Structure 1
Amino acid sequence: MATNPTGHGFFRNAIGAMMAARERQASRYVAGALLRYDDATLLANGYDRAELEKRASASSYPF
């Protein structure tokens, strides 16, 4: 039985891709939730509104 060059099987690659997609989805969700705070609160906690807006809208999905 042949294996792929990275040494990982199909199911391991599929789970890895699914986990990466969920991490990106969670990052967008958290960025959107943080954007509800005012600028002073964001700055006090070390966040930049422009960076959060970019992260919240970064989507490779068409919907």
Structure 2
Amino acid sequence: MSGNFFKTALDRIVTARERQVRRYVNGALLGMDDSQLKALGRTREEIQREGAQSYLY
């Protein structure tokens, strides 16, 4: 029982960190111009839909 609790807690922490990193990367990608995004196979609208966040550090 307690092993399952810790596994679930760790899974939730990892999932939250993955979402946080995805928002951070999307914020960096939005700093690129449209031709660079196109070369990566992404669009500005797609990135904005996924959400973006910039960090000061």
TM above 0.5, yes or no, is: yes
Structure with the greater relative contact order (CA < 8 A, sep ≥ 6): 1 or 2? Answer: 2
**Aligned structure 1 segments of 4 or more residues deviating by more than 4 angstroms:** none
Post-superposition Cα deviations, 1:26-61, rounded to whole Å, max 9, x if no partner, equal: 11110110000000111112111101111124xxxx
TM-score, normalized by length of structure 1?
0.73
Of residues 28, 31, 55, the one that matches 2:26 is: 31
Any stretches of 5+ residues in structure 1 without a counterpart? 58-63
- Number of matched pairs: 51
TM-score, normalized by length of structure 2?
0.79
From the CA coordinates, give the structure whose radius of gyration is larger.
1
CA RMSD for the aligned pairs?
1.3
Q: Give identity over the alignment, percent.
A: 43
Of Structure 1 and Structure 2, the greater helix share is in 2
